[in-house]
Amino acid sequence: MDDLFSAQGDLAPQRIRVGIGGWNYAPWRNKFYPAGLPQRRELEYASRQLSAIEINSTYYGTQKPATYAKWRDETPAGFVFSAKAPKRIMQARSLAGAQAQIEDFIGGIAEIGDKLGPLVWQFEKGRQVDLGELQDFLAALPRTHAGRNLRHALEIRDPARVDRELIALARHHGVATVFTDSVDYPSFADLGGDFVYARLMRSRSQLDTGYTPAELAQWADRARRWAQGQDLPELPHAAAVQASAASPRDVFIYFISSAKERNPAAAMALLREIGAP
């Protein structure tokens, strides 16, 4: 085990963030959200039950900087937002001409300040990406803004593009590849940057917490091992499994899609299982 963990005890839970996609969803009202809670206070409430939220609305349109600042101020210290990059960038015919839009998106969302987590660059199924084009795109992503480091996660939904070359390219640029636990999209758990980004998409409506207790215990174990720097050979990979543990990693796990009405309960149950602060 890494010296950091041996010397100071198991710090893995402190590195793990668990949450959901978005916070305005009608079926969560009177269930996840208490009866009578005003809609304008839903973020305030959700951010005190979970440790992270992935902002999905940014995929469809960016917000004003003042809106991002408002979200920042409504959430407690230590909370983290991830965010999906705008569709207009990810679906552009040529990524080479998107630099101004990338900078505009980052310049606005940077108002979230030290609560800003990874930015997710998702290429939808059917969007074929040339490896050379992707190399230039990753090289152009800003690594800092206003003195703060930026983290980037790459989600590729074209099965033909998921291979060893993709993993090597992501690692070269220090970018994480998204692990999407889904039957509909490529699912690969190769380690890339200094963090892990997982989108879990198998919750079921018939289960109060979306997943069985055994499944949640299994994901808690995986989250801890990821946080300790371990690669997980039991999960699918596009390249060879890394044989030895690397440095500790931050871990971001989101319950997304599928039986969406169960996702807040799934996230809270996993946080309890992990024992995360």
**Domain containing 43 — which CATH number?**
3.20.20.410
Residue 98 — very low, low, confident or very high, per pLDDT cuts 50/70/90? confident
pLDDT at 3 over 50: no
Among 76, 85, 91, 29, CA closest to 57: 85
Name the domain count of the chain: 1
Give how far the C-alpha of residue 265 lies from the chain's centroid of Cα atoms, to the nearest Å: 18
Among 185, 182, 184, 188, CA closest to 170: 188
pLDDT at 9 over 60: no
- pTM of the full structure: 0.94
Residue 10 — very low, low, confident or very high, per pLDDT cuts 50/70/90? low
- The per-residue pLDDT for 62 is 82
For residue 35, what are the domain limits?
3-274
